[in-house]
């Protein structure tokens, strides 16, 4: 591979507090050799491969901490190749894959399979998560130490919550030994049983059983109480309500060390968007009120929430063409994560460097991976962005194998033009 000179770009790298015009050099091994204003048109070697970015934004490739791949078991919903195509078209270069496959990722032989498939079929970096409990059924804990040594980035039951408080306290106690990252999907299974959407006026009108926000808050409060006794690397995957935001803010203020994420869906949509039983908006955690949404935006701004994820959950048509109660939960979104998040910037709700950090440097720091920044020597995972380009989301144009987008026909501003992974140009919008 020849050295590549990316020039005439607005470089944004929240980790290194860079926001300036300049360029970036990718060396022969695909690593970042230099970055900043000193890389310009004037000091280019004559034989270098030159890519003129025409004043567009050059930033680290996105790290998406919550993505569902269909392999193994649900290849008809999404496989590594389609996921990878979808991800790079949205500037996402690293993902944490959820363990809710068939079989569940709960033992070391599965990790080998995943790594091999991920390497052979996808172009992006796959950081697999394993389940907290065997078969994600909340009864027996998995082998944190052995799995971590095999390359597992974090542990979560994904779509499920560890309900048993005794088991959860032991998990947190034991996991600290291997310095494993525990990622909780916070929803009390008993309080949310039978529920489909937020418990509120809309659930009353639609005649659907509600999921109270208390179901989320109660698990977060429980786990944070455990954290006092059994300190470990603890992350709440997706927060959805104002009540939980207050709990997190209070605990962080008291000095507890943990992190929290939010789905772009909960930041951009509310329960009213469900309209006439749109099953693509049946999500977990559910979309809640506009008040809840605004509290989440504020929580991102003040650092209460660290990470924004796509919660990319591809579901085939047959799983969604059902009554709301019978329909599968989740929306595909890895390729619209960044453009939809930019809506929050264009609406002047979140500053650009803050927004980008929640999808690059913050998740990398939580995961302990050398991604999400333009550090010299890092693999050149990059994203080139036209921040103003208007476009309309059409499910037919999505690269993901499943087309269950939560934002069909939404007008967005900002589109990814190029994506590099390990120095290679893998996506180039024409």
Partner 1 sequence: MAVIKKSKAVKINQNHLLGIQDLSFSDISEILNEAKKFIKLNKSSSKKTDLLRGKTQINLFFEPSTRTQSSFELAGKRLGADVMSMNIVNSAIKKGETLIDTAMTLNAMHPDIIVIRHQDSGAPNLLSQKVNCAVINAGDGRREHPTQALLDALTIINRKGKVEGLKIAICGDILHSRVARSNIYLMNMLGAEINVVAPKTLLPHSIERLGVKVFNNMKKGLENCDIVMMLRLQNERMQGSFVPSPREYYEYFGLTPDKLESAKKDALIMHPGPMNRGIEIDTSLADDINRSVIREQVELGVAVRMACLKIFCKRTL
Q: Which residues bind partner 1 (CB under 8 A)?
A: 193-194, 199-201, 203-210, 212, 276-277, 318, 321-326
Other Cβ atoms within 10 Å of 47 Cβ, number: 8
Based on CB atoms, which residue is closest to partner 1, 319 or 360? 319
Based on CB atoms, which residue is closest to partner 1, 128 or 210? 210
Q: How far apart, in whole angstroms, are the C-alpha atoms of residue 112 and residue 96?
A: 16
For the bound state, the minimum distance from the C-beta of residue 296 to partner 1, rounded and expressed in Å, comes to 20
Alpha-carbon dihedral angle through residues 333, 319, 286, 126, given to the nearest 10 degrees: -40
Based on CB atoms, which residue is closest to partner 1, 326 or 347? 326
Separation of CA 299 from chain center? 17
Based on CB atoms, which residue is closest to partner 1, 102 or 276? 276
Based on CB atoms, which residue is closest to partner 1, 241 or 364? 241
For the bound state, the minimum distance from the C-beta of residue 198 to partner 1, rounded and expressed in Å, comes to 9
Based on CB atoms, which residue is closest to partner 1, 210 or 330? 210
Q: Which residues are identified as catalytic?
A: 311
- CA nearest to 355, candidates 341, 336, 340, 366: 341
- CA nearest to 61, candidates 153, 4, 138, 125: 125
Would you call the peptide bond into 344 cis, given omega within 30 degrees of 0 as the criterion? no
Alpha-carbon dihedral angle through residues 301, 269, 160, 304, given to the nearest 10 degrees: 10
Dihedral-angle region of residue 8 (phi above 0 means left; psi in -120 to 50 means alpha; beta otherwise): left
Would you call the peptide bond into 285 cis, given omega within 30 degrees of 0 as the criterion? yes
Give the three-class secondary structure for 119: helix
- Locate 292 and state its tokens: 């809840």
Q: How far apart, in whole angstroms, are the C-alpha atoms of residue 140 and residue 344?
A: 41
- CA nearest to 306, candidates 198, 384, 217, 233: 233
For the bound state, the minimum distance from the C-beta of residue 200 to partner 1, rounded and expressed in Å, comes to 5
Tokens 């998740």 locate to 363
């Amino acid at each position: 591979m020849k050295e590549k000179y990316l020039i005439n770009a607005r470089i944004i790298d929240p980790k290194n507090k860079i926001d300036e015009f300049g360029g970036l050099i990718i060396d022969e091994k695909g690593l970042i050799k230099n970055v900043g204003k000193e890389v310009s048109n004037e000091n280019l070697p004559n034989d270098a491969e030159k890519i003129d970015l025409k004043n567009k934004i050059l930033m680290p490739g996105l790290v998406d901490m919550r993505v569902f791949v269909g392999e193994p078991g649900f290849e008809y919903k999404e496989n590594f190749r389609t996921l990878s195509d979808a991800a790079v078209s949205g500037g996402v270069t690293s993902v944490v894959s959820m363990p809710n496959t068939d079989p569940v990722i709960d033992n070391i032989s599965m990790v080998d399979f995943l790594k091999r498939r991920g390497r052979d079929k996808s172009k992006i970096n796959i950081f697999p998560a394993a389940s907290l409990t065997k078969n994600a059924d909340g009864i027996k804990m998995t082998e944190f130490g052995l799995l971590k040594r095999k390359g597992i980035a974090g542990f979560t039951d994904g779509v499920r919550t560890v309900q048993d408080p005794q088991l959860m306290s032991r998990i947190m106690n034991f996991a600290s030994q291997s310095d494993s990252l525990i990622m909780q999907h916070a929803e009390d299974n008993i309080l949310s049983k039978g529920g489909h959407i937020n418990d509120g006026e809309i659930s009353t009108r639609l005649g659907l059983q509600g999921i109270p926000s208390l179901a989320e808050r109660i698990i977060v409060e429980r786990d944070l109480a455990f954290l006092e006794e059994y300190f470990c690397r603890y992350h709440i995957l997706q927060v959805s309500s104002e009540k939980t935001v207050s709990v997190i803010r209070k605990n962080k203020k008291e000095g507890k060390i943990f992190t929290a994420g939010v789905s772009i869906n909960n930041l951009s949509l509310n329960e009213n968007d469900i309209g006439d039983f749109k099953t693509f908006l049946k999500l977990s955690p559910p979309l809640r009120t506009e008040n809840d949404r605004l509290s989440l935006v504020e929580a991102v701004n003040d650092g209460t929430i660290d990470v924004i994820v796509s919660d990319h959950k591809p579901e085939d048509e047959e799983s969604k063409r059902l009554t709301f109660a019978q329909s599968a939960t989740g929306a595909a979104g890895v390729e619209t994560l960044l453009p939809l998040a930019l809506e929050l910037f264009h609406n002047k709700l979140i500053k650009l460097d803050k927004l980008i950090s929640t999808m690059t440097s913050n998740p990398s720091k939580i995961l302990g991976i050398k991604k999400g920044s333009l550090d010299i020597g890092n693999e050149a995972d990059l994203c080139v962005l036209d921040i103003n380009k208007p476009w309309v989301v059409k499910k037919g144009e999505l690269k993901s194998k499943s087309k269950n987008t939560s934002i069909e026909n939404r007008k967005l501003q900002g589109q990814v033009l190029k994506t590099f992974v390990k120095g290679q140009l893998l996506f180039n919008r024409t």
